[in-house]
Structure 1
C-alpha cells in the first residue's frame, strides 16, 4: 500500500459539535454514530485510540491483538482497527446521496439514492471479517529478514463485525444494471489521496459484477449501531473474504461499466510484485489468506511451574477453519488446540490450549491454521515487495521466569 500522510483538515471537534443527534430520513429517525469529542484522539481519527487498545501507525490505528482476549467473536467498535488513507470525514446522513452511473446502466444516466431510500430496501445482516491486505506486513522483515514497503502492521489490522445493510445486487438492479456490465467501482467520500506529489483521487477499487451480485452489502450498521465515523458512516461497502481495500468506506458513488475498470488501488498497489511474481506484477489481489495468533503481547513473561491458559484466534478467507495446532517449543512438537467456536465462512474462531512451562528462559510459541479446503499456514510466506498477504506461522516470543518473579514484558 502507498505511504500514508496526514493532510491539513478542518477541526473535527467543531464538526462533531455541529453534528445532529438524529436526522429524519424518509420517515426514519437515524441516530448519528456515538463520538467522544472530549477524549484524546489521533489527528484524522475521530474515536479515542488509547495505547492499551491501539498502536498508532501514521494515519492508522492498529488494534492490539492481545486486547481481543477479553472479547467475543465480534470485535467491539472501540477496539476495531482504523485504516485511513487521509483522515476520517464527518458526514451527515441527511444530505448523503449515493450516485450510480456509467455505461453499464440501462438508462446510461446517473441514478441517485438517499439514505432513507437505501434503508427502505430489504436488509441483510452478515457477520464478516474485514482485514487489511497488509496485515502481518512487518513480519516479512522481523521474521523473514525481507524488505517490504508500507504500514508496518503486526496482526491487528483485522476485525470481525455484524454488518447490516442492503445487498449491492438489489441496489444495482434497482439502478438498472445492464446484462453486459462487467465491473463496478465504488468510490469513497474521504479526501483525495496525494502521495509523492501525485494526486490519486479518492479511494476506489473495481469489483467484478459476479462478486458484486454475490455477497457484497452496502452497510449502514455495525454491531447493531449506526456505523461509526471511522468505519464508514453513513454507508460503506463490505466485501466478505476479500482484502480490506475492497470494502470502501464513506461510499459516495458507484461506476457501472461494460468494460474492465481500474484505479491506482488495482494497478500500482494491491498487486504482488517481486522475484516470485510475474515481471509486470500479479493480477489485482482479491481474497485474503489464512492466519492465526496468540492473544499475548510479544515478549511477555510467564511463570514456570504453573498452568497458563493460552488463547488465540484463527481465520481463513479461503474456507472455514478446520483446526489449529500449537507448539510451545519453537516447532519441535505440535498438538491440537481446542476450538471455542463453530467454524464458519468469513469468520474466525477462538481457540485455547493449556501450557505448563518447566524451564525458564526465552521460548517461542507457534500456532498454525488448517482450513476446510486443506490450506495450511506455511513456515514462510512468499515475499512480495509491498508486503501483502502474509500467511506464515507467526513466531511469538515469550520469556519463562521462575516462580514468584514479577511479570513483565520484554520489548
Structure 2
C-alpha cells in the first residue's frame, strides 16, 4: 500500500539510512489549529518499519499462546472482539523519535534515524477491548511476567539482517493496567496505516509498544526480548553503557505551537497563539510561553480537558511590538512537577527529545 501525502495535513519524512519504505508521515501542527481535541485520522502521523500490510478482516485472528497461559492457545477474530463489552479511551501515541531532528537543529548534535520534527504524535479516541479481559479469558497464569505482542507487517530487514516482524515485550503489570486492543479510531474502523484490523494502544509509552496489525501475543512466565528492546529503543552513546539504557517506556514532557515555522505575524495586532502539551507522567498542570526567545515567561491559559494520557490545549494572546524575527517558546509542567528543560540529554539514536522547542516566526 502506498500512502498519498496531503500537503496541508501531513508531510512525508524520509530517512536516508532506511530507504524504500516511503511510509513515514508526520502531522503538520498548523493543521491542528481549531480542529478540536482529537487528531483526525488523515492528520495522524504514520510510522512503519516495513510498509503497510494488506490484511483480510474476514480471516484475521489474534492468537494468545505461551507457557504463561493455563491451557493451550486461544484465538479471537474480529467478530469475537466486537461481541465483547467495548471500552473507549482517549490517549496519545507518539514515536520515540519524535523531535529527533531538533537534536541537530537546536543542539548541533548528530543522531541517526528518521528526522522527525514534532509531528510524530497524535491523540485519538480509541475503542476496543482491554487486553486484560482477553488475557483473563485465555487463562493467564498468576506467575506470568511478560508478553510479546507481534504485528503482521512484513519482516524488517536492514543491512542484510532479517529482524522478523515488529514485536516488543510488554510487562504483564502494564498489560493488565490500561492497555487496549483497539479496532476503532475516533468512532470509525482503523485505517490500514493505523493498524487495521486491530492494534494495541499502550498509554504513555513510546509508540513502538502500541503494536499495529496485531497478530499474536506470547504470554510467558519468564522475561522476553526482541530486537525492539535490545538493539533498538534504548539510549546509546556517551553517558550510556555499551548495551544501552534500559528499554524505553514512558515518553517525556513536550509542547508544540499550532503555527507554521517562519510564519509571518502583523506588528501591533493581537494574534492568539495556540498549542498543545503532553507528558507520559500524567496530566499537564501549567504552560508558560515566551515570545522573546526565553527572556520573559508568562502563563498560558489552558483550555479543554486536563487529563492523563492526552494533551492539554492552551492559548496565549500576543501583540508583537517590533518587526523582525522572533522566537516563540513554550514550556509545560506536569502533575508530577516535571518541567521541560532548555536542553535534551544526548543519545546517538535521537530518542526522547523533550527540551523546549525554539519556534521561529517573523513580525512584519
TM above 0.5, yes or no, is: yes
Aligned to 1:350: 313
Report how many residues are paired. Answer: 356
1:316–1:371 Cα contact (<8 Å) kept: yes
1:186 equivalent among 143, 149, 156: 149
Cα distance in 2 for partners of 1:352, 1:243 equals 27
Alpha-carbon distance between aligned partners in 1 of 2:231 and 2:242, rounded to the nearest angstrom: 13
**Which of residues 15, 29, 53 in structure 1 aligns to 2:9?**
53
Residue of structure 2 equivalent to 1:218 = 181
Instruction: Tell me the SS of whatever aligns to 1:174.
Output: helix
1:258 deviation in Å?
A: 1.0
What SS does structure 1 have at the residue aligned with 2:228?
A: coil
Shift of 1:51: 1.2
Larger Rg: 1
Deviation, 1:176, is 1.1
| CA distances 1:380-409 after superposition (whole Å, capped 9, x unpaired) | 0011111111000000011111xxxxxxxx
Counterpart CA distance in 2 for 1:287 and 1:363 is 33
Alignment map for 1:368-383 (pairs within 5 Å): 368-383=331-346
Q: Cα deviation per residue 1:159-185 (whole Å; 9 max; x = unaligned)? A: 000000011011111111111111001
Within 2, Cα distance between the matches of 1:84 and 1:280?
Answer: 25
The one of 275, 287, 290 equivalent to 1:312 is: 275
The aligned residue for residue 198 of structure 2 is: 235
In the aligned structure 2, how far is the partner of 1:54 from the partner of 1:219?
23
List per-residue Cα deviations over 1:100-136 (Å, max 9, x = no partner).
Answer: 11111112x3211111112222211000000000100
1:77 pairs with 2:41: yes
Q: 2:227 aligns with which of 264, 267, 280?
A: 264
Aligned match for 1:297, one of 238, 260, 269: 260
Moved more, 109-118 or 374-383: 109-118
Q: Deviations over 1:225-276 (max 9, x none)?
A: 1111111111000000100000000000000111111111100110011212
Q: Normalising by structure 2, what TM-score?
A: 0.96
Unaligned runs of 5+ in 1: 1-11, 13-42, 402-411
State the partner residue of 2:122: 159
TM-superposed CA distance for 1:70, in Å, is: 2.7
Query: TM-score, normalization: structure 1?
Result: 0.85
> In structure 1, what is the Cα distance between the partners aligned to 2:200 and 2:243?
29
Between the aligned partners of 2:258 and 2:180, the Cα distance in structure 1 is 30
- List structure 1 segments (4+ residues) > 6 angstroms apart after TM superposition: none
Q: Distance in 1 between matches of 2:32 and 2:230?
A: 34
- Whether contact under 8 Å (1:321, 1:370) holds in the other structure is yes
User: 233-242 vs 48-57, which deviates more?
Assistant: 48-57
1:322-401 superposed matches below 5 A: 322-401=285-364
- The equivalent residue for 1:31 is none
Give RMSD over aligned pairs. Answer: 1.0
Contact 1:276–1:382 (8 Å) recurs in 2: no
Q: Where does structure 2 lack aligned partners over 5 or more consecutive residues? A: 15-22
